[in-house]
Amino acid sequence: MPEADWNHGECEANGIRLHRVEAGSGFPVVMLHGWPEYWRVWRKNIDALAARHRVIAPDLRGFGQSDKPPGGALEAYTIEHHVGDLAGLADALGLERFVIVAHDVGAYVAQAFARAHAGRLAGLFFFDCPYPGIGRRWVDAAHVREIWYQSFHQQPFAATLVGSSREACRLYFAHQLSHWAHDPHAFDEDIEDWVDNFMRPGNLQGGFNWYAASHAARMALIRDGAPTLAPIDTPTCVRWGEHDPILLPAWADRLSEYFSDLDFALLPGAGHFAAYEQPERANAEMLGFLARIARDA
């Protein structure tokens, strides 16, 4: 299916307007992006999944073409807001049960949604999944320099600085994308689309608001370590880029404590953006998992 045939739609959800890309038919799959991303990070995966499934790839609040609600990060951009958005999106689109495919920020949203609305989920598929078991390791001596951006995004001047020119925006996102990908040229063909997206009014601050809203939870992990939580029982598949420099593959060691029905493996040849960097392998892994889930749904 040519990209031009994908449906771009909008709906009201949780009091805001959410943009989505939709393709295909069948058992529904909702794809949640991370940062520095928007729906287009799934462009190499949508067609493969849409051959068998109804695929919905929304822009999270603050990102892409979705609304950027007024108010501070804690007033409008918390994990609870994102969970409410996803529930509202599912209601608006008539999704009784569905699978979530998620990455990075989207993986936080998916886990919180699974804990709040387990009955609506048939499965969870994560690429490079941040989860509570990482605990204090975010600030290990060998790693702490990698998370500088999480503090930078909370500075009141961050969006103005990065958005001060198209060149500055390109420099910032080209660095993040090339540094976190295994192949530093992985995003070369798409970098101008990324710059176009983040130069849209409100999109830089909208994405940065995630970091301000989640700061307290991140500090609690670093201060207190990995919490003890009841595991998520939804069938879960995790594929982790074996060269991810920001979410280290070694950190997957405690996944089974937080997901009771877990299928885990590394994804060779990929960094942080596994589904984008290795789409053929990622698509095959997703379709295999979805086939098992759809049979049991």
Write down the H helix ranges in 51-165.
73-76, 79-92, 105-116, 148-152, 158-162
Q: Taking residues 40-67, report their average pLDDT.
A: 97
Q: pLDDT tens digits for 208-253?
A: 999 999 999 999 999 999 999 999 999 999 999 999 999 999 999 9
Is-catalytic flag, 131?
no
- The mean pLDDT of the chain is 96
- pLDDT greater than 80 at residue 18: yes
**pLDDT tens per residue, range 108-144:** 999 999 999 999 999 999 999 999 999 999 999 999 9
Query: Domains in the chain, start-ordered, CATH in brackets?
Result: 3-296 (3.40.50.1820)
| Cα–Cα dist 13/290, whole Å | 26
Q: Report how far residue 43's alpha carbon sits from residue 76's, in angstroms, rounded to the nearest whole number.
A: 28
Instruction: Give the gyration radius of the chain's Cα atoms.
Output: 18
Dump pLDDT digits (tens) for 167-178. 999 999 999 999
Q: Choosing from 104, 128, 131, 243, which is the catalytic residue?
A: 104
Selected catalytic residue, list 38, 108, 211, 276: 211
Per-residue pLDDT averaged across 12-32, rounded? Answer: 97
**pLDDT over 70 at 41, yes or no:** yes
Could you confirm whether 103 is annotated as catalytic? no
Identified catalytic residue from 53, 103, 153, 272? 272
pLDDT digits (tens, 9 = 90+) for 253-265: 999 999 999 999 9
Rounded to 5°, the CA angle 127-118-68 comes to 65
Mark 84-113 as b/e (b = at least 16 C-beta within 10 Å): bbbbbbbebbebeebbbbbbbbbbbbbbbb
